[in-house]
Structure 1
Amino acid sequence: MSFGQSIKTCFGKYIDWNGRASRSEFWYFQLFLFILYFIAGQIDSFVLGTELGQIGTTYIIVILGTMLPALCAQIRRLHDVNRSGWWCLISLTCIGIIPLLIWEASPGASGSNQYGDDPLDKSTTVE
């Protein structure tokens, strides 16, 4: 999946946590969010004059607008490695981020699993 397809897919599945997300879909979307958050921070800092260390209005609007698609993409990514979406709650602890990152970087389960078809299997993917 390309960078653009990833963004389109993740926003197209805005509140859809069913199914699975490939590594490329998830990580390209995370890269997009990082760039978007950086730009929002720069707008707040340079255009609106927000002080360093303060959270500006633009940044808050961007965070609120991308929170659900980011969470749903993370849940679908966990589904791809055969984990329940509830595992994303371990990120609320500092140490919980480590296994979460390992799972998100791991290859997905081959073939279908209880969460859906393999997103990399072209024979089951509907375009």
Structure 2
Amino acid sequence: MTFIDAVKACFGKYATFSGRAGKAEFWWFALFQFIVLLVLGMFSNLLYGLASLALLLPALAVGTRRLHDIGKSGWFQLIWLVPFVGWILLIYWLVQPSGPANAYGDGPDAPLPEDVVPGAQ
């Protein structure tokens, strides 16, 4: 997944908290969010605040889908509120590779049926 694909996917699933998101989708969107907020913060506090509000929901949604990808509930994002230990644990979870199919669905990198059986429609 490329940078542009990840940003489009996150805005396309603006408030979708179900399903799974791979590492690339999550980290590319995190980079996009960081760059946008950094640039807008240089110009205006008002623009920074508006962009923060606009990007909050898709950031929470992609974070939830990323945790679903490793088999954890999206509510584990709240561990971020625990200083240092919570931050380290959450970052550790977010860099884990995608797991196999779980209760939240197939993995984001799961092959499509036509990739498994050539000629299948």
Any idea what the Cα deviations from partners look like across 1:12-36, whole Å, max 9, x if unmatched?
Answer: 1111010000000000000000100
Q: Which residue of 2 aligns with 1:42?
A: 42
State the shift of 1:122 in Å.
2.5
Tell me if 1:109 matches 2:94. no
Conserved? CA contact 1:41–1:58, under 8 Å: yes
Q: Which residue of 1 aligns with 2:15?
A: 15
Q: TM-score, normalised by structure 2?
A: 0.89
Conserved? CA contact 1:7–1:32, under 8 Å: yes
User: Runs of at least 4 residues of structure 1 off by over 4 A?
Assistant: none
Q: Which residue of 2 aligns with 1:96?
A: 86
Q: Which residue of 2 aligns with 1:78?
A: 67
Q: Which one has the bigger helix percentage?
A: 2
Q: Structure 2: where are the runs of 5+ without partners?
A: 114-121
CA distance in structure 1 between the partners assigned to 2:47 and 2:111 by the alignment: 39
Q: Structure 1: where are the runs of 5+ without partners?
A: 45-55
CA distance in structure 1 between the partners assigned to 2:102 and 2:89 by the alignment: 21
Conserved? CA contact 1:78–1:85, under 8 Å: yes
State the shift of 1:108 in Å.
1.3
Report the number of matched residues.
Answer: 112
Q: Which residue of 1 aligns with 2:117?
A: none
CA distance in structure 1 between the partners assigned to 2:21 and 2:5 by the alignment: 12
CA distance in structure 2 between the partners assigned to 1:75 and 1:41 by the alignment: 26
Q: TM-score, normalised by structure 1?
A: 0.85
CA RMSD, Structure 1 to Structure 2 (Å): 0.9
